Amino acid sequence: LRESLEELRAEAARLYQSASTDQLTGAMSYSHAMKMFDRQIKKAEESRKPLCVMMTDLDLFKRVNDTYGHLVGDIVLKHTAERIKSAVRDFDIVGRFGGEEFVVLLTNTDLGLSKVIAERIRRDIAASPFHAKKFNIDVTISIGVAMLKPGETREALLERADAAMYEAKRTGRNRVVVAEDIGPG
């Protein structure tokens, strides 16, 4: 009975890991990341500590898929997730938002430090080409950063970070834009 119970626990842990992880990139799955965001927003409000979010999007990623094919594009996405995870702290949350977009949640982190971390991600992505199959592919990333406002919902926070990310794309790509710097949309 004890052995069966241990096997069931191990299987439950494998299923949880599978459900909480994006299978392609190894980043946190969208649904799990959103649950974690809700928890962290509640904690930030209770503790009155800062919380920031980044929305990231690979620049001109359609061109990668069109030029090299979707299998190579998938490898680029996997490498992107690895570079983002290596550029953030162990306790930061990196999730796949969809397509070539990733979201990063930075707990107990103000805008100044968030911008430093975002710049580190941006530099790490652009610094060296991605090796995928026999190709070396140069990739850049645009990043929007926003800090949680009192009483703000997850959706509103993500919308502000997303607007900042699109402003980074609009103003030349391969850059970091802070939502608070672009004013009301």
- 101 tagged catalytic: no
Q: Are strands 176-178 and 141-147 parallel, antiparallel or unpaired?
A: parallel
Q: Give CA–CA dist 11/17, Å, rounded.
A: 10
Q: Give CA–CA dist 76/89, Å, rounded.
A: 22
Measured in whole angstroms, the distance separating CA 61 from the mean position of its chain's CA atoms is 16
Q: Give CA–CA dist 89/179, Å, rounded.
A: 22
Give me the catalytic one of 6, 45, 100, 155.
Answer: 100
Q: Give CA–CA dist 146/162, Å, rounded.
A: 9
Residue 132 contacts residue 150 (beta carbons within 8 Å): no
Active-site positions read: 100
